[in-house]
Amino acid sequence: MSLEFELLAQRLEKVRQIRELGYEPYGRRFDFTHTLGEIRRHWGDKSAEELEPRVQVRVCGRIHTLRLMGRAGFAHLMQEGERLQIYVRSDAVSERDYKLFRMLEPGDIIGAEGYLFRTRTGELTVHVERLEFLAKTLLSMPEKWHGLEDVETRYRQRYLDLIANPEVRRIFLIRSRLISSLRRQLEKRGFMEVETPMMQPLYGGAAARPFVTHHNALDIDLYLRIAPELYLKRLIVGGFDRVFEINRNFRNEGISTHHNPEFTMLEFYQAYTDYRGLMDLSEELLRQAALDATGSTVVEYEGHRLDFSRLSRYSMREAVVEFWRGPGRPTLDDVRDPGWLSRHSTRATPGEALVDIFERVVEEQLIQPTIIYDFPVETSPLAKSKPDEPDFAERFEIIIGGMEVANAYSELNDPQEQRRRFDEQLRMRARGDEEAHQMDEDFLRALCYGMPPTGGEGIGIDRLTMLLAGASSIREVILFPLLRPEGPIGLADRLRELDR
RNA sequence: GAGCCGGUAGCUCAGGCGGUAGAGCAUCUGCCUUUUAAGCAGAGGGUCGCGGGUUCGAGUCCCGCCCGGCUCACCA
C-alpha cells in the first residue's frame, strides 16, 4: 500500500471520527466577525492592556501550522494570505471541541470563536472558546518551509500553489488591480467597454496562425480570434466613438516565457485622434496603472528599476542609430538608404529589413518604457501611412524590459487604400505567408460607409503584469497556463476503493 | 523544431568511481497547559518518470520515449 493511499485512508477515517464526534466534516456557512487580515489591522499593534475588556471574535481559515502540547496547543490559521494564531487549551473549550482540536491537521479548514490576547512572546492570538469544523483536507499540504517548488505542479495545480506560496497571490492581485485601473481610467475618459466575437468566420487584426473550431448547426469552421481589431473599428464606424475591450486573444504559435497561446489584450479605439494623441494617452494610462497596481511608478524588474512615469520616444530609424552596438554606427541617412538596409538584413524589402535590424539590435536594449514610432508600411497593413512619407505608417509600439507591451496606430480609414493593402496581403498569402491577412469584405464595406479618423491601441495585459509584478515568465502571471495534459491521476479509483 | 538542465517518500532535497535507497517536514504512537520551522522518544512509508540494453550487480553507465524548465528558432 503506497503512502499516499495510506494517508488518504487515514484521513477518510478521520472524516468518520469527526462525524462521530458530531461535527460535519464538510460544514456549512460560518459567519465570521472579522477576517484574519482585519484582526491584524485593527489589533495588530495593540498592547495586552488595550485588549481589555475582552474583544470577542469569530474567525475562520485553513490550518497552516500546529503545535500541540499535552493539554493545549497553538495553530496558525491562513485566510486571504493573512496569518493569525489561535490557542486552544483543554480547560477553555468543551471536551468535544478539544477532541476535535487534537484531530486536526495542516490543511483543515476550521472556524474558531474566542477572545484576543497576547502570548508571552507578544503574538496576537485568539484564545479559543468554541471550535467549528468546516472542511477536511484529504491530501497532504506541501512542506511549510519551502512551499511548493515544483514548477510543473505549481502550474497544473495552481490552487495548491496559491495555498502554499502566499507571494503568488501578490502577482494575481497586481494583475487584478492593473486591469481594474485601466478599465477605470478609460471609463473616466468616456470609453465604453464592449464585447466582440471571439469566434470569427475570418480572422484578422494581427499576423498570426489561428485556432480553428467548428459550429455543428451552421456547419462552418470558425476561428478563435487573433485580435478584436476589425470588429472594434466597425463600432467606430457605427458611431461608438470611444470603445475598449479587455479579453482573450488566441494565437496558434509557440509557447515561451513571453508567449501563451491565449493571452489577454486591452484594445481601445478613439475617434478623431491619431497615434500622437495615443502616445500622450498611453503615458498617462501606464503611469497611473503602475501606481494603482503596485503603489509606485517605479518597479523592480530583473535587476532594473523601471520608471513608468514617462515614456521615451524614438522613431524606429532614430532608435537604430541611437542604440547601434559596435563599429559601423549608421547615420539617419544610412537607415533611410535601401542599399545600407539590404547590406544589414536578408529581408526582401527595405521596410522589412529595417524592422529586422531593429528587432535584432535595438529591442532587447529598450528596458525603460519607450515608444518606438513610425513603422514601415508593409508591416502595418491596417495603419494609416504618413502623409509626407507614404512608405511609413503612423504606428508605434511601447517596449519595456525588452518586451513589446503595446502596439498602436492611426487607423487606416481610406477604404480604397485598405483594399489595396488587403490585395497585397493576399499576394503575400499566395506566396505562402500563412499569417498574411485575409480579405475581409464586410470590414471593407464598413469603411466604405466612412470611419472617422481614429487612433487605436492594444496593450498586452500579461506582459505588463510581468513587468509590474517582477515575473520573468508569462506563465507566472496566468493562473492556468497551457500545459500538455498530465494523463490519469488515479485519485477517483482510490477514492472509490475507500468509499464504504 | 534544436540545444542544455531536471524528474529519487505526500512535500523540500541528498545520494563520489556501479555494490543492501537517506535526511528534514508531513503521517502514526507516547510525553508535554504560552508554542513560534515548538521540543523529546519511537514507528511506518519508495514503480528512483516510463521502456529497453550493458553488467555477477544499475538511482548511478548506454539507447529510446514521456513530462517539465531554460536558451535559441518561430511569433511583423
When pLDDT is averaged across residues A306-329 and rounded to a whole number, the result is 93
> Which nucleotides along chain B are within 7 A of a protein C-beta?
1, 6, 9-13, 24-28, 31-39, 44-47, 66-76
Residue type at A13 in one-letter notation? E
Query: Is A125 within 7 A of strand B by CB distance?
Result: yes
In whole angstroms, how far apart are CA A343 and each of A337, A350, A382, A398?
A: 10, 10, 28, 27
Cell 522613431, residue?
Answer: A315
All three cell numbers of A484 = 500538455
Residue type at A479 in one-letter notation? L
Integer Cα distance of A357 and A365 in angstroms = 13
DSSP state for residue A448 in the 8-state scheme: H
> What band does A486 get if pLDDT is binned at 50, 70 and 90?
confident
When pLDDT is averaged across residues A250-258 and rounded to a whole number, the result is 92
pLDDT of residue A162 exceeding 60, the answer is: yes
What is residue A433's predicted lDDT score, i.e. its pLDDT?
82
Protein-nucleic contacts, chain A 68-107 to strand B, CB < 7 Å: 68-72, 74, 76, 85, 87, 89-91, 105-106
Helix axis angle for A166-188 and A275-294, nearest 10°, is 140
Q: Convert A121-147 to b/e letters by CB count within 10 Å (16 or more is b).
A: eeebbbbbeebbbbebbbeebbeeeeb
What is residue A63's predicted lDDT score, i.e. its pLDDT?
97
What is residue A66's predicted lDDT score, i.e. its pLDDT?
96
pLDDT of residue A247 exceeding 60, the answer is: yes
What is residue A429's predicted lDDT score, i.e. its pLDDT?
86
What is residue A172's predicted lDDT score, i.e. its pLDDT?
96
Query: Is A10 within 7 A of strand B by CB distance?
Result: yes
Protein-nucleic contacts, chain A 286-345 to strand B, CB < 7 Å: none
What is residue A13's predicted lDDT score, i.e. its pLDDT?
93
Provide the β-strand partners of residue A128.
A114
Protein-nucleic contacts, chain A 426-455 to strand B, CB < 7 Å: 435
More confident of the two residues A266 and A346: A266
DSSP secondary structure string, A369-407?
-EEEEEEEGGG-TTBPEETTEEEEEEEEEEEETTEEEEE
In contact, A111 and A30? CB cutoff 8 Å? yes
Query: Is A346 within 7 A of strand B by CB distance?
Result: no
Nearest to A198 by CA among A226, A234, A238: A226
* pTM (2 d.p.): 0.95
Q: What is the dihedral of CA A259, A392, A231, A438, to 10 degrees?
A: -80
pLDDT of residue A413 exceeding 70, the answer is: yes
Angle, CA A403 vertex, CA A397 and CA A406 arms, to 5°: 30
Number of helices and strands (H, E) in chain A? 16, 19
Q: What is the dihedral of CA A58, A63, A67, A70, to 10 degrees?
A: 60
When pLDDT is averaged across residues A202-226 and rounded to a whole number, the result is 94
Dihedral sign (CA A376, A381, A385, A389): positive
In this predicted model, what pLDDT tens digit does every residue of A427-455 receive, in sequence order? 988 888 878 898 999 999 999 999 999 99
In contact, A88 and A131? CB cutoff 8 Å? yes
Percentage of residues in chain A with pLDDT exceeding 70? 99
When pLDDT is averaged across residues A131-136 and rounded to a whole number, the result is 97
Percentage of residues in chain A with pLDDT exceeding 90? 87
Helix (H, G, I), strand (E, B) or coil at A283: helix
Query: Is A3 within 7 A of strand B by CB distance?
Result: yes
Provide the β-strand partners of residue A79.
A82
DSSP secondary structure string, A103-163?
H--TT-EEEEEEEEEE-TT--EEEEEEEEEEEE---SPPPPTTT----HHHHHHTHHHHHH
Nearest to A379 by CA among A397, A364, A362: A397
Dihedral sign (CA A343, A346, A350, A354): negative
What is residue A254's predicted lDDT score, i.e. its pLDDT?
87
Which residues are CB-contacts of A175 (< 8 A; sequence separation ≥ 6)? A293, A461, A465, A469, A477
Provide the β-strand partners of residue A262.
A250
Query: Is A178 within 7 A of strand B by CB distance?
Result: no
pLDDT of residue A3 exceeding 80, the answer is: no
Query: Which nucleotide's C1' atom has the smallest distance to the CA of A3?
Result: B45
DSSP state for residue A476 in the 8-state scheme: G
Nearest to A304 by CA among A372, A371, A368, A363: A368
Q: Which ranges of A439-480 does DSSP label H, i.e. alpha helix?
A: 441-448, 461-469
In whole angstroms, how far apart are CA A135 and each of A16, A159, A163, A401?
A: 13, 16, 15, 44
What is residue A6's predicted lDDT score, i.e. its pLDDT?
85
Mean per-residue pLDDT of chain A: 94
In this predicted model, what pLDDT tens digit does every residue of A66-75 receive, in sequence order? 999 999 999 9
Query: Which nucleotide's C1' atom has the smallest distance to the CA of A486?
Result: B67
Integer Cα distance of A404 and A54 in angstroms = 56
A 10 A CB-CB count for A65 gives: 14
pLDDT of residue A1 exceeding 60, the answer is: no
User: Straight-line distance from CA A451 to C1' B70, in Å?
Assistant: 47
> What band does A488 get if pLDDT is binned at 50, 70 and 90?
confident
All three cell numbers of A244 = 475598449
Span between the terminal Cα atoms of chain A, in Å: 18
When pLDDT is averaged across residues A75-87 and rounded to a whole number, the result is 96
Contacts made by residues A72-76, CB under 8 angstroms, sequence distance 24+: A73/A101, A73/A102, A74/A125, A75/A104
What is residue A419's predicted lDDT score, i.e. its pLDDT?
96
In this predicted model, what pLDDT tens digit does every residue of A391-411 receive, in sequence order? 999 999 999 999 999 999 999
Which of A11-25, A50-64, A476-490 is the least confident region? A476-490
Protein-nucleic contacts, chain A 195-254 to strand B, CB < 7 Å: 206-208, 251, 253-254
User: Based on the number of CB atoms within 10 Å of its own CB, is A468 exposed (0-12), middle (13-18) or buried (19 or more)?
Assistant: buried
What is residue A110's predicted lDDT score, i.e. its pLDDT?
97
In this predicted model, what pLDDT tens digit does every residue of A21-51 receive, in sequence order? 999 999 999 999 999 999 999 999 999 999 9
Q: Where are the beta strands (DSSP E) in A216-363?
A: 220-224, 242-250, 262-271, 298-301, 304-307, 312-315
Protein-nucleic contacts, chain A 353-412 to strand B, CB < 7 Å: 355-356, 359, 379-382, 407
Query: Is A163 within 7 A of strand B by CB distance?
Result: no
What is residue A412's predicted lDDT score, i.e. its pLDDT?
97
